[in-house]
Amino acid sequence: MDSRLIKLKKTACHLYSIKDKDFSSKNRARHLVDIRRMVYAICKDLLEMPWTHIGKAFSVNHATIMHHYKVHKSLLDVDAVYNEKFNNLLDIYKADIDYIDMNEMLQLIRALKTQTARKQIYKQLIKENYENEIITKTESIKTS
């Protein structure tokens, strides 16, 4: 099995306090199925693995992986707890493998630039206001 998959499986098992044998079992308890489903989705989306490779890696038919992936997408939309659990696993795994998403990086850079631009505008307004106050005070002293 690919080292990335081993690390993902270990991360999921550790995060949700399940044993490796429970992850690999045919047990259909909801929490176990959800964890497997999340791992399959990360393999597909983040690691960009084909269905058949994911299936072979976890000794599951590729059609089963496809089914779990579709259910995963639906659960993300309707189940807030599932969504949060998945995002936690995804974030921890990304940090674990030092993954950098270029779209997230670009959004962060844009946000920082926007904040910097706002700060510069704000500083300029304060400076202009301060200069206007000095001019006003100077003119009032001259007229008195």
Q: What confidence score (pLDDT) does residue 144 get?
A: 63
The mean pLDDT value for 86-105 works out to 86
Q: Phi and psi of 134, rounded to 5°? A: -65, -45
User: Residue 124 pLDDT > 90, yes or no?
Assistant: no
Instruction: Check: CB of residue 56 under 8 Å from CB of residue 63.
Output: no
Boundaries of every domain in the chain: 3-96, 101-144
For the cut 90, the answer to whether the pLDDT of residue 108 exceeds it is no
Compute the average pLDDT of residues 112-119.
80
The CATH class for the domain spanning 3-96 reads: mainly alpha
Predicted local distance difference test score (pLDDT) of residue 56: 95
Residues with Cβ within 8 Å of residue 67, at least 6 apart in sequence: none
CB 72 within 8 A of CB 58: no
Give the pLDDT mean for 58-87: 96
CA–CA gap between residue 45 and residue 56 (Å, rounded): 17
Does the pLDDT value for residue 17 go beyond 70? Answer: yes
What one-character-per-residue DSSP string does 101-122 give? -HHHHHHHHHHHHHHHHHHHHH
The pLDDT > 90 percentage for the chain reads 62
- The pLDDT of 105-131, averaged and rounded, is 79
DSSP tag of 59: T
Residue 24 banded pLDDT, cuts 50, 70, 90: very high
What is the pLDDT at residue 104? Answer: 78
Q: Provide the whole-model pTM.
A: 0.71
